[in-house]
Amino acid sequence: MEWKHLAFVALGGGFGSALRAYLGFLLRGGIPWGTFLVNVVGCFLIGYLMRALDEDRIGLRFFLLTGFCGGFTTFSAFGSETLALFRDGQLGTGLGNVALTIVCCLAAVAVGHELARG
């Protein structure tokens, strides 16, 4: 990996993280819909871009895949928000969050991958 690739990752990650924070602010509430949304959309984008972007466009791949999508999605927030639901006695909501997130994220990757096939 070259230093310029790290710069692409950092720049893309900054944009992705900022957008995630903004959406999380807009969708804040008891159920972590902001985290759910960014993870599903991010999984769709990764599925699509992994197939759509030529492998020789390495800078763009680092910027969009590792940087933007990596900064935009958040497994750590998913984990901590789910734990908070469990600790608040919302076992059903927490389990629903886990199931819905996993199923929808996997489906989103698959749909993105298929749509990129054209």
Query: Each residue of 17-64: pLDDT tens digit?
Result: 999 999 999 998 888 999 999 999 999 999 999 999 998 999 999 999
**Sign of the torsion angle spanned by Cα atoms 53, 75, 81, 99:** positive
pTM for the structure as a whole: 0.92
Instruction: Provide the H-helix boundaries in the chain.
Output: 3-26, 33-52, 58-61, 70-72, 75-87, 91-117
List the chain domain ranges: 3-117
DSSP state of 53: S
28 versus 15: which is more confidently predicted? 15
Summarised one tens digit per residue, pLDDT across range 59-112 is 999 999 999 999 999 999 999 999 999 999 999 999 999 999 999 999 999 999
pLDDT for 29 equals: 82
Question: What is the dihedral angle through the alpha carbons of 100, 69, 81, 30, rounded to the nearest 10 degrees?
Answer: -80
Over 80: is that where the pLDDT of 118 sits? no
As a whole number of angstroms, the distance between CA 61 and CA 53 comes to 7
